[in-house]
Structure 1
Amino acid sequence: MVVYAPAALLFLVFCASVLHDRRKFSNAVILGVAALCAVAAWLYRLIRSESASGAVAVWSLLVLGAVAFLVLTCFLFLNGVQMLRKEGRSLSNLLSLLAALGIIGVVALLVTAAFLRTPVLIGVATATGGLALYVSFLFLCFVCYAFLYGRLRVRRKADFVVVLGSGLADGSTVTPLLASRLKRAREVHARLSRRGGSPVLIASGGQGPGEDVPESHAMADHLVADGFPPHLIEREDRSTTTEENLLLSKAIMERAKPDYRCVVVTNNYHAFRAALTARRVGLRAQVVGSPTAAYFWPSATLREFTAILVAHRRTNMVACWLIVLAGAAAWWGSAHHGFG
């Protein structure tokens, strides 16, 4: 059982980190490393056992991984085609399709390098495969922890509920995506009200290109039309990004109550990144998500993950350069071996 000690220790570190602040991407990475250590320990014990059942389990795991890999690639490809049909052509709508094509390209490169064994191909394949594994590992960490974060309950009382805008249809109409956020905000507001007090709901969103009114005004009108009390609505109508949503809403809350607590409402795919942004700007808040159409979720999740990679670009650049150097070392080693 000693082989499981690193995984157990990392899991304890993860639990302590979540209790301290659940809004950290490092929590996702620690959980991922703990799971990786646990799987590695399990495989080590199976291999060391030298039993037939151990060999069957290892081969079954490899086959299952290959099938899952194939299913994922097909799913991303089909989802990418569906996104183009339903949402139109844009870079964000192409992410699922690009991810599927990227997976196929990496596999093709690795197979070609394995057959031809030329030094250049070995070096490029090593670097590309390493980068793909690195990004895939971070993506799995992100998806698993984002799922977990979305199911952690907000138990504290709150003075404000902040709803993030997401664009309007026809210049002034709340979209189904935004309507789901407003519905979730009303549910959160009702739950907080039952605990005592009357939280203020802040509709946050400025006027974007092609919009006739600020998003916050359309959101407030939608809420009032559904019977929400107008005197409990505050409008933040200058923001154009998630960070501005949170910063400008923070200013409103600090003026009204310096020791405020709040809950931020967005869609489920966006909740974890919004939580990371809230932590970065010093907002005393937890984030909850509302449901999203199933076909929209994969592409939106890829977009959120890409934004998180960019936000942590320094760390990721260092890791990527180390992987590229490993590829260069593989090229040099294979060339040197070939000349020797």
Structure 2
Amino acid sequence: MLVYAPAALLLLVFCVSVLHDRRKFSNAVVLGLAVLCALAAWLYELIRSESASGVVAAWSLLVVGAVAVLLLTYFLFVNGVRMLRKEGRSPSNLLSLAAALAIVGVVALLVAAVVVRTPVLTGVAAAAGGLALYFSFLFLCFVCYAFLYGRLRVRRKADFVVVLGSGLIGGSTVPPLLASRLKRGQAVHARLARRGGSPVLITSGGQGPDEDLPESHAMADHLVAEGFPAHLIEREDRSTTTEENLRFSKAIMEKAKPDYRCVVVTNNYHAFRAALTARRVRIRGQVVGSPTAAYFWPNA
């Protein structure tokens, strides 16, 4: 059983790190390494036993890996096309399609290296394959931990609920994506209020060049129309990025209560990225996500 010791140690480090601060990307990497070590230990035990099951397991993993690459490429390509059709041709919406094309390029390079067998091409293919494996590992770590992070409960009381803004439709209308954030923000606020607190809800978002009013004002109007008390809303209307959302909201919270705690609300595909930013700007609180269409996830 000593062969599983590295995996157990990494899992222990992961648990301690999450308890200390769940908003670290290193948590995702440590968890991924723990899984890899456990898998390697399991394969080692099977092979050392000199049973046919070890060979079968090794080949099965290779087959599963190959099929997974094909499925991932197909999924990313289809998702990329869907994003372009539904959300437009912004750079962020091209990410999944670009990733699919990159995978195809690396696979084609590896096949060419096997067929041609020149030292230069073999070296380039090996380097490309190594980089692809490295970034694939980081990507899987990020996605899996982001999924886990979104399901960790926020147990502490909080003084503020910060809802991050996004673009408005027609310059003044709250889109469904943003409405889902506001709905989750209301739910979080209600839960905190039931615990005996009286949190303030901050709508955070400035005014874009194609918008008739700041996002935070449209968000506040939407909340009031839904029956949320207007006197519990604070507007942060200067920000244009997620980092500014958090920095400017932080200034409001620190001014009102220096030892504040908060809950930041965004969409679930964006929650862990927002949490990383929140940690960087030293926000005292966690990030939660609202439900989002599945095709947004690969671009997270």
Report the TM-score when normalising by structure 2: 0.98
Distance 1:51 1:197 in 2: 61
Is 2:266 the counterpart of 1:266?
yes
Contact 1:46 1:58 in 2 (8 A): no
Q: How does 1:136-285 map to 2 (within 5 A)?
A: 136-285=136-285
Query: Aligned runs of 1:2-151 on 2, under 5 Å?
Result: 2-151=2-151
Distance 2:274 2:292 in 1: 16
- Amino acid corresponding to residue 263 of structure 2 in structure 1: V
Bigger drift between 119-128 and 214-223 goes to 119-128
SS in 1 for 2:288: strand
Quote the Cα distance in structure 2 between the aligned partners of 1:245 and 1:219. Answer: 14
Counterpart amino acid of residue 185 in structure 1: G
Matches of 2:12 and 2:98, distance apart in 1: 37
Aligned to 1:293: 293
1:307-318 matches, cutoff 5 A: none
* Identity level (%): 84
CA distance in 1, matches of 2:49, 2:187: 53
Give me the whole-angstrom Cα distance separating, in 2, the residues matched to 1:138 and 1:297. 15
Q: Is the 8 A contact 1:236 1:248 kept in 2?
A: yes
Is 12-21 or 80-89 further displaced after alignment? 80-89
Matches of 2:76 and 2:276 in 1, distance apart? 26
| Distance apart, 1:275 and its partner CA | 0.8
Distance in 2, Cα, partners of 1:31 & 1:67: 24
Q: What code does the residue aligned with 2:155 have?
A: R
Partners in 2 of 1:21 and 1:29 — Cα distance? 14
Q: State the 1:285 CA deviation.
A: 0.8
| Superimposed CA distance per residue, residues 227-260 of structure 1 (whole angstroms, 9 cap, x where no aligned partner) | 0000000000000111111111111111111111
Q: Is the 8 A contact 2:269 2:296 kept in 1?
A: no
Deviation of 1:115 after TM superposition, in Å, equals 1.8
Gaps of 5+ in 2: none
How big is the alpha-carbon RMSD for the aligned residues of Structure 1 and Structure 2?
A: 0.9
Aligned residues: 300
Larger displacement relative to structure 2 (173-182 or 41-50): 41-50
1:305 maps to which residue?
none
Deviation at 1:197, TM superposition (A): 2.0
Q: Contact 1:205–1:214 (CA<8 Å) still a contact in 2?
A: yes
Contact conserved, 1:260 with 1:284, CA < 8 A, in 2? yes
Q: Distance in 2 between matches of 1:92 and 1:280?
A: 22
* One-letter amino acid matched to 1:8: A
Instruction: Tell me, in whole angstroms, the C-alpha distance in 1 between the residues paired with 2:97 and 2:32.
Output: 26
- Would the aligned equivalents of 1:265 and 1:289 in 2 still touch at CA under 8 Å? yes
What is the CA distance between 1:110 and its match in structure 2? Answer: 0.7
CA distance in structure 2 between the partners assigned to 1:35 and 1:159 by the alignment:
37
Residue pair 2:4, 2:41 contacting (<8 A) in 1 also: yes
Unpaired runs of 5+ in structure 1? 302-340
Q: Which moved more, 1:267-276 or 1:225-234?
A: 267-276
Aligned AA (1:280):
R
Letter in 1 for 2:29: V
SS at match of 1:264: strand
Q: Answer with 51-60 or 20-29: which moved more.
A: 51-60
Q: Which amino acid aligns with 1:266?
A: T
Higher RCO (C-alpha under 8 Å, 6+ residues apart)? 1
